[in-house]
Amino acid sequence: MNTMPSPDTSRKIHSMLGNALMLFNNVYEPFLKGELKRFWGEEYEVNLKISVRDQKRNVKVKEVTTELDSQMIFNLIIQYWEELFPRTKLDTKLNLNHKSYFHEGRAVRNNWAHQTVLSYEDYYRAFDTIERLLMAIEAKEQQLELEKMRHYILFKYANRVKMGTNKPTNATPSTTTPVTPVEVVKQQPKQAQTIDQDSYTKWTPQELQTLSDCFQKDFQLTDEMLEFLAQHIGTKNLQQVKAKICQITRTLIVDPNLRSGDIWRLTTRSNSEMDIE
């Protein structure tokens, strides 16, 4: 099921994606230039300017700078892949398995540049692709930042499904002011906030695993998120929410070697296919 984010959430994710591409650029620009210097030797600067010029229209070589943006990095790596990362090269961090990620990454950058609105699934894959590219050359600090962004997408998706706000993007915009999870709690009658201890069964195994994965990765949930979770877990004490979710998710049988990206793909499976103790 493709779920589209709200306009406000989409704008925020678009901004986050721009930051993700900036992190990619900061890591891969020096990496790519180092590989090109080793390949071209003394002709490095001239060949780089020619290559950049060839990617642009109506630009003379003398007007070209050697500063590379993310689009240029993707294009040059794909163009010179065989020369820079041949199969016989043993000391390279990139192999043929990573090549498809650069093609995906270029598509991500193009979608971002054209402000294309994507589904949560496609946004998740975009952040996951960039994260994998950062992991490939061991950019751990930047990779952790991407991991937090990816977890944000996971949580917003679960939030959207539980709040039942999935609406077609071509629907007539509502004139009602958006209500946050915190405001929902405040607006409910006092007795309506009392939730039985079995209310957590309303969460699907996939959603519970998503939340559990966030905690295992030390993803910091905001108070607003905890307020929202409290409605479905049966406790008003926000400090108990994390412990409660971890307790629930222990009933799930999940391969400990699965990355969260693999767990996300399990959402395409029906509940009956999930093994639960």
Same domain? 140 vs 201: no
pLDDT score recorded for residue 154: 86
Q: To the nearest whole number, what is the mean pLDDT of the chain?
A: 70
pLDDT of 164 over the 80 cut? no
Cα–Cα separations (whole angstroms), residue 246 to 61, 240, 255 = 59, 10, 16
Average pLDDT of span 50-57: 78
What's the pLDDT band for 163 if we cut at 50, 70, 90? low
pLDDT at position 135 over 90: yes
Helix, coil or strand: residue 168: coil
Query: What value does the mean pLDDT take over residues 113-135?
Result: 93
- Find, among 140, 166, 135, 176, the residue nearest to 261 by Cα: 135
pLDDT of residue 190: 37
Question: Do 12 and 148 reside in the same domain of the chain?
Answer: yes
Whole-number pLDDT of residue 182: 38
What is the distance of C-alpha 250 from the center of its chain? 25
Report if residue 176 sits inside a domain: no
Q: Is residue 258 part of a domain?
A: yes
The continuous run of DSSP H or E covering 246 comes out as helix 241-249
DSSP conformational letter for 41: G
Give the H/E segment covering residue 42. Answer: none
Give pLDDT, residue 112. 95
Question: Same domain for 130 and 244?
Answer: no
Domain carrying residue 116: 7-163
Point out which residues pair with 276 in neighbouring strands: 252
For the whole prediction, is pTM greater than 0.85?
Answer: no
Domain count, the chain: 2
Distance of alpha carbon 61 from alpha carbon 50, whole angstroms: 6
Express each pLDDT in 213-255 by its tens digit. Answer: 555 544 445 555 555 566 555 556 655 665 655 554 444 334 4
What is the average per-residue pLDDT within 204-220? 54
Residues 207 and 112 grouped into a single domain: no
Nearest to 206 by CA among 163, 154, 165, 257: 154
